[in-house]
Structures are given as structure tokens and as C-alpha cells.
């Protein structure tokens, strides 16, 4: 996976077979990611967001639309680690609360 080292953008939309373990492997091999999209992946959980924030420090565009197992825990990870975030797509997120959404808006002022 050495070829992924400088990858700036990754689109894994609708890749239903990718799990938290896959996200860990991909993000650890791609530390320069700025844009990351995993639209409509129902297998990823908050653990994937832990891997993302640990491995990829430069994210400015994040799409989690339709990732039904992402909760407010992920929002807290995002707002603690990505204050420079410019784009965040959380549509179709049934486990998020208004409080979690408000907190991310306060901390990520570039949205």
C-alpha cells in the first residue's frame, strides 16, 4: 500500500463490503487524505472514525451520508480533530442528535 501514501482524495461510496478493519488499513496507508467519502456504507461504525482521526490529520471534506451506524461519538471525534473541516455531509444519519450537530457547528467554524 505504499502507493497510497500521498493520496489526497478517496471515494469509497457504496462499497458495502468495507468494514471498520478496512477503513483502518486504508487510512493508515493514506495519511495525506484531505477528502474522504464513504457514502452509504452501513458496516462502518464509530470505530472507523477513530481510525480516520488517528491516521489522517488533514481532512477538510468528509462524506458520511447514509452511514447508519455512525453516532454522536463520531461527531465529537470530528469536532475535536478537524476544526478546519470545510465540507461535512451527514444526510441520512439516523443516530445523530441535534446536540451533536450543534457542537460540531460550534467547533468547526469553516463549515
Per domain, the residue ranges of the chain are 2-107
Q: State residue 97's pLDDT score.
A: 81
Looking at residue 56, its pLDDT comes to: 98
Which runs of consecutive H residues, i.e. helices, occur in 8-97? 20-29, 46-55, 72-81
Euclidean distance between CA atoms 8 and 105, whole angstroms: 24
Q: What is the C-alpha to C-alpha distance for residues 82 and 52, in angstroms, rounded to an integer? A: 11
Read off the pTM.
0.91
Which residue positions in the chain have pLDDT lower than 70? 1-2
- Structure confidence at residue 55 (pLDDT): 98
Residue 2's pLDDT is 57
Beta strands in the chain (DSSP E): 9-11, 35-37, 61-63, 87-89
Q: On the CB side of 18, how many CA atoms lie within 13 Å of its CA?
A: 19
Q: CATH homologous superfamily for 2-107? A: Ribonuclease Inhibitor (3.80.10.10)
Amino acid at each position: 500500500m505504499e502507493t497510497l501514501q500521498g493520496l489526497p482524495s478517496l471515494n469509497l461510496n457504496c462499497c458495502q463490503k468495507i468494514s471498520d478493519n478496512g477503513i483502518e488499513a486504508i487510512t493508515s496507508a493514506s495519511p495525506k487524505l484531505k477528502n474522504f467519502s464513504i457514502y452509504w456504507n452501513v458496516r462502518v461504525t464509530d470505530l472507523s472514525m477513530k481510525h480516520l482521526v488517528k491516521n489522517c490529520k488533514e481532512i477538510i471534506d468528509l462524506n458520511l451520508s447514509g452511514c447508519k451506524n455512525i453516532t454522536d461519538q463520531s461527531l465529537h471525534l470530528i469536532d475535536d480533530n478537524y476544526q478546519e473541516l470545510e465540507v461535512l455531509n451527514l444526510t441520512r444519519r439516523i443516530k445523530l442528535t441535534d446536540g451533536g450537530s450543534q457542537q460540531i457547528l460550534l467547533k468547526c467554524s469553516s463549515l
